[in-house]
Chains A and B, each alone.
Chain A
Amino acid sequence: MNFSLSRATLIAEADLVGIAGERAVCDRRGVLYFPDLRLLAVSDLHLEKGSSFARRGALIPPYDTGATLLRLQAVIADYQPRIVVSLGDSFHDDGGAERMHQSFRERLEAMMAGRDWFWVAGNHDPDAPADLPGETVRELAIGSLLFRHEPSKLRVEGEIAGHLHPCARIVQRGRSVRRRCFAGDGGRMIMPAFGAYTGSLNVLDRAYAGLFRLETLMAYMLGAERIFAISGSMLRPG
């Protein structure tokens, strides 16, 4: 192969995978990078989830948006992508973009400057985020890839989706380890949620039924220093 992986290989904690013939880097921080396209995908940022809860009386710390943006800034600085796709549920609710503190808005706009930025519509944020640049789309097709928020019921080769917040669990030596993960079978990839306050759902849960070819299902679990590729047969529910 003669395409340049220089940026990706610099980041040793990532893992190289193929999706519908396209090469992608699963980064342990929970983003997917396509070196050929110089495209970075990130899913389920759920910005302003904290203030969304506060509105309903649960005054959880208001630092989630800041924390999420800081991490996003770091991966963007590492990969310097030409295109960024935010795969939906970028804001926790419709009013999220409006509520966002001015300093966070500025930080986000600085990240967006000089690159194509797509907001894929999610179930939490069906409309375009208020007063932010970038293009809002229902789904996005680039080459053999199709980016959308919710995975479709039918098999679609090259589909990159979010929405389900996958995590995986293994039991080794009597101890249980659960981590967020990328879940893929070579044809479709479901991305982990990136937001600081996002929970997760086991890839063996009913909600994933029919989405993957079980024989080739792999969970790329996010470790503290690297990605761990675990085959579907080793995973546990719950």
Chain B
Amino acid sequence: MPSRYLWRVTEQPRLAEQNAAVLLPEPFVKWFGEKGWSPRVHQLELLAKAQGGQSVLLIAPTGAGKTLAGFLPSLTELANRPKRKAGEAHRGIHTLYISPLKALAVDIERNLGKPVEEIGLPVTIETRTGDTPSHKRQRQKLVPPDILLTTPEQLALLIASNGAKRFFEDLRYVVLDELHSLVISKRGHLLALGLARLRAFVPGLQTIGLSATVAEPDELRRWLVAQNPSGEMAGLITVAGGAKPDISILDSRERVPWSGHSARYAIPEIYEAIKEHRTTLLFVNTRSQAELLFQELWRANEDSLPIALHHGSLDVGQRRRVEKAMADNALRAIVATSTLDLGIDWGDVDLVVHVGAPKGASRLAQRIGRANHRMDEPSKAILIPANRFEVLECRAALDANYLGAQDTPPLIKGALDVLSQHVLGVACGGPFDADFLFEEVRSAAPYAALERETFDRVIDFVATGGYALKNYERYARIRLNKDGLWRVSHPSVAQQYRLNVGTIVEMPELNVRYVRQGRGMAGRGGPVLGKIEEYFAETLRPGDNFLFAGKVLRFEGIRENECVVSNGAGANIIVPSYAGGKFPLSTYLAEQVRAMLADSDRWKVLPEQVADWLRIQEEKSVLPKRGDLLVETFPRGNRHYMVAYPFEGRLAHQTLGMLLTRRLERAHARPLGFVATDYSLAVWALDDMAALFKAKKPSLGQLFDEDMLGDDLEAWLNDSWMLKRTFRTCAVIAGLIEKRYPGQEKSGRQVTVSADLIYDVLRSHEPDHILLQATRTDASAGLLDVSRLGEMLSRVRGRIMHKHLDQISPLAVPVMLEIGKESVNGGANDTLLMEAADLVEEAMGRG
């Protein structure tokens, strides 16, 4: 009964009923009456604003009937529309619904179809996604449905097609679902540009944004409307959260480990919780954690409860089966990563278990909202910290949740690679005038501050690559004609554009193909279990066992673009690590954890073993005051260690570690390495760093000076693999290199040009090229978290507390345990070659 979530019986004030009679057409009122239901206040409020000509942002928790609220303005208007007379032209699309997930569009088609049918509305609803067959797409262009449910990429394609303006001329509303998740990525930038284009086609267009609670609603309100004049905002309707969730932190009988992320210690207690509930949703932060937790749960699963696994690397077919079983309430538990974060109906979940710290208060709230789609009943959740610092973090997140605090990240400026893609798309749709397009682009909130000079460079890039060496004029993709309009120079340009549209760039991946054991590489045919990243597969040796799709698999070898595996076993099992997927600790939670450390009164709410750990730290070393940065130094073995506790998240700490080691090297401290966690950072060296600080060569204040973000950062950045990785993404989005599709790999490395090579050549010949600028901006915000590091360095200026110790402190133990587990991917590859070469020389007696 999906409509349960759309229309609900609630106590309504009389006023709302009167409003309903005014706002809703007769068939709606009648239908409500027959069902014995009545619309909710916010649904009517949204309808009133929309009918008054406003765009609206609706912020509401899961289960508030958000989706229907979003469609009510369209449905009521369509109900009142006069019938099409025979011979009259087909009407265009009336409402466009855009969601981040294909599955969500399909879900909505089902849920919306039923009331439409029962009310007897003459409304057609169709989806258009990457899965829509081409004959249906063709037909949709000739005979469009009234409501089209689609994704940002499909919108980009529609805009880039011939006659886009005519196709959209009847458009009245754009409904944007899960807006909070759309706006934070490059997909959001592409969508914002698409919206600006639609507004240029249809000036009176209204938008309706549906979102979970966010820290800055005004950012989303601006996002929804044209920014001319800038600062314009959509109307806002906020629905207060339902019942407060019932969240607890596991107070384990077992010892909470110092470090690590597996939470293996808590498996028996998690299993008990699963047994006590109908359906449990278990969230973890990464795919590797999902694999591990799933494996451990099955080991404990004496009752053979149906427990399933769901993450983004698994085969789509398998994911769909798990989703269906979940919706049918056939599962007792499901282990999942963020693939399930978004609002699809998941049946009757009555418990959410979050394994590992949630990293952000808003993220926790959104995940807990998953349990129980009925907003008037409290959701129940248990947090399982995987280590001691996570206990503090979980506590901070829990407090924030009760306070209703939000820490969604601020929106970032529109990316230039996305703008390049859009400009080419616009040209594919028809000739454009650069002045008009510039104004249109600036009306999209992410690009409101775009400068004309930058825009012109983007156009130049789209046309000929934008190189200082003007070599490619004759190969231009778009050309300025005598009439002052830009046009694509050849139809093949549009073809190429269509193949490369979108902003989601996957790392190179291999299909995991399962064959029967003993057949080795000769085995053929078996099922595909999912995908793993190529660089992980490359570290495997035939015979290695690794964990994937909840199974232990034996690596047989790589065949073309497939990783061939068979049944595995054994004790030495490797867990694949996946790039990305690790969220850094939010600034807000970091602040809360620092506050908690500084205030011993608040330790009372912590489990005894954790409070004890902090008390001993206070005895043996010191705990930093709220705004201070504690730096400890101590000798161990024949090395000297420095541990700092900024609590700024792993990415910012990694960047800091790189920069500190460079500086220490210059100060001749002979640093050997560093390791970073979400909470702290350890650097080790051959020389006594404490002695250096004492002699002020350099002082600790100088070492942590903000100026490290200048030349040191620049120098390190240029050689960093992170920059290459980011460049590849930018180059694909900007249309410089083509997306790789499965099966193309065979055509070979010899034929294509790798992004790394292009990066090297471009960097040495034109370091200011617009694509390199875009890359640096991206890396600073993303993988490097430079802005956060900068804020921290300026905050702790003059507030660095140095404590020299004879031995390791309790607080330092977690990060020290990480040493050796995770190596920093630096420039040491030649060292590995050297080792291999030496082995040869030794064996050959040449050494």
Which residues of chain B are near A63, meaning CB under 8 Å? 467, 469, 761-762, 764-766
Which residues of chain B are near A238, meaning CB under 8 Å? 537-538, 558
Cβ-defined contact, B467 with A61, below 8 A: yes
| B442 close to A (CB within 8 Å) | no
| A130 close to B (CB within 8 Å) | no
Report the separation of the CA atoms of residues A237 and B510 in the bound assembly, to the nearest whole angstrom.
14
Cβ-defined contact, A67 with B539, below 8 A: no
Contact among A54, A165, A171, A178 with B750 in the assembled complex (CB-CB below 8 Å): A165
> Measured between C-beta atoms, what is the minimum distance from A121 to chain B in Å?
18
Report the separation of the CA atoms of residues A192 and B464 in the bound assembly, to the nearest whole angstrom.
31
Taken residue by residue from 523 to 545, chain B's Cβ proximity to chain A (1 for < 8 Å, 0 otherwise) reads as 00000000000010111010000
Closest residue on chain B to residue A200 by CB atoms: B749
Chain B interface size, under 10 / 10 to 19 / 20 to 34 / 35 or more: 35 or more
> Measured between C-beta atoms, what is the minimum distance from A139 to chain B in Å?
21
Which residues of chain A are near B761, meaning CB under 8 Å? 61, 63-64, 67, 196-197
Report the separation of the CA atoms of residues A175 and B823 in the bound assembly, to the nearest whole angstrom.
10
Report the separation of the CA atoms of residues A223 and B844 in the bound assembly, to the nearest whole angstrom.
21
| A183 close to B (CB within 8 Å) | no
Taken residue by residue from 370 to 400, chain B's Cβ proximity to chain A (1 for < 8 Å, 0 otherwise) reads as 0000000000000000000000000000000
Cβ-defined contact, B538 with A236, below 8 A: yes
Cβ-defined contact, B748 with A230, below 8 A: no
Knowing A165-B750, A229-B837, the reply to whether A60 touches B465 (Cβ < 8 A) is: yes
Cβ-defined contact, B750 with A196, below 8 A: no
Report the separation of the CA atoms of residues A174 and B821 in the bound assembly, to the nearest whole angstrom.
11
| B571 close to A (CB within 8 Å) | no
| A21 close to B (CB within 8 Å) | no
| B287 close to A (CB within 8 Å) | no
| A177 close to B (CB within 8 Å) | yes
Cβ-defined contact, A49 with B465, below 8 A: no
Which residues of chain B are near A199, meaning CB under 8 Å? 748-754, 757
Cβ-defined contact, B539 with A174, below 8 A: yes
- List A190-238 residues whose CB lies under 8 Å from chain B: 196-201, 221, 223-225, 228-231, 234, 236-238
| B812 close to A (CB within 8 Å) | no
Contact among A53, A175, A196, A237 with B832 in the assembled complex (CB-CB below 8 Å): A175
Report the separation of the CA atoms of residues A87 and B460 in the bound assembly, to the nearest whole angstrom.
37
Cβ-defined contact, A197 with B758, below 8 A: yes
Cβ-defined contact, B839 with A234, below 8 A: yes
Which residues of chain B are near A224, meaning CB under 8 Å? 827, 830
Report the separation of the CA atoms of residues A221 and B833 in the bound assembly, to the nearest whole angstrom.
8
Chain A interface size, under 10 / 10 to 19 / 20 to 34 / 35 or more: 35 or more
Cβ-defined contact, B492 with A57, below 8 A: yes
> Measured between C-beta atoms, what is the minimum distance from B189 to chain A in Å?
22
Segment of B46-54, B310-318, B470-478 in the binding face:
B470-478
> Measured between C-beta atoms, what is the minimum distance from B492 to chain A in Å?
6
Contact among B738, B749, B757, B843 with A201 in the assembled complex (CB-CB below 8 Å): B749
Report the separation of the CA atoms of residues A221 and B829 in the bound assembly, to the nearest whole angstrom.
12
Which residues of chain A are near B749, meaning CB under 8 Å? 165, 199-201
- List A12-67 residues whose CB lies under 8 Å from chain B: 49, 51, 53-55, 57-64, 66-67
Report the separation of the CA atoms of residues A7 and B36 in the bound assembly, to the nearest whole angstrom.
96
Which residues of chain A are near B758, meaning CB under 8 Å? 60-61, 197
Knowing A170-B833, A199-B751, the reply to whether A58 touches B738 (Cβ < 8 A) is: yes
| B11 close to A (CB within 8 Å) | no
Knowing A171-B538, A199-B752, the reply to whether A177 touches B833 (Cβ < 8 A) is: yes
Cβ-defined contact, B840 with A229, below 8 A: yes
Cβ-defined contact, B465 with A62, below 8 A: yes
| A2 close to B (CB within 8 Å) | no
- List A133-169 residues whose CB lies under 8 Å from chain B: 165, 169
| A101 close to B (CB within 8 Å) | yes
Report the separation of the CA atoms of residues A173 and B825 in the bound assembly, to the nearest whole angstrom.
12
> Measured between C-beta atoms, what is the minimum distance from A50 to chain B in Å?
8
Which residues of chain B are near A236, meaning CB under 8 Å? 538, 541
Which residues of chain A are near B827, meaning CB under 8 Å? 224
Report the separation of the CA atoms of residues A101 and B475 in the bound assembly, to the nearest whole angstrom.
15
Which residues of chain B are near A225, meaning CB under 8 Å? 830
Cβ-defined contact, A175 with B492, below 8 A: no
Closest residue on chain A to residue B563 by CB atoms: A238
| B86 close to A (CB within 8 Å) | no
| B254 close to A (CB within 8 Å) | no
Report the separation of the CA atoms of residues A165 and B754 in the bound assembly, to the nearest whole angstrom.
14
Taken residue by residue from 543 to 564, chain B's Cβ proximity to chain A (1 for < 8 Å, 0 otherwise) reads as 0000000000000011000000
Closest residue on chain B to residue A63 by CB atoms: B765
> Measured between C-beta atoms, what is the minimum distance from A86 to chain B in Å?
18
Cβ-defined contact, B765 with A172, below 8 A: no
Report the separation of the CA atoms of residues A89 and B358 in the bound assembly, to the nearest whole angstrom.
55
- List B179-219 residues whose CB lies under 8 Å from chain A: none
| B496 close to A (CB within 8 Å) | yes
Taken residue by residue from 734 to 772, chain B's Cβ proximity to chain A (1 for < 8 Å, 0 otherwise) reads as 001110000000001111111001101110111001000
User: 9 new A-B pairs (CB below 8 Å) besides A176-B535, A179-B833?
Assistant: A51-B475, A63-B467, A173-B823, A177-B832, A178-B538, A197-B758, A199-B757, A228-B834, A228-B836
Q: List 11 A-B contacts (CB under 8 A).
A: A49-B753, A57-B477, A59-B464, A61-B465, A62-B467, A172-B832, A175-B829, A199-B748, A224-B830, A228-B837, A237-B558
Could you tell me which A residues sit within 8 Å of B by CB distance?
A: 49, 51, 53-55, 57-64, 66-67, 101, 165, 169-179, 196-201, 221, 223-225, 228-231, 234, 236-238
- Closest 10 A/B residue pairs (Cβ): A59-B465, A199-B749, A63-B765, A172-B832, A62-B471, A228-B837, A228-B833, A54-B475, A176-B538, A61-B762
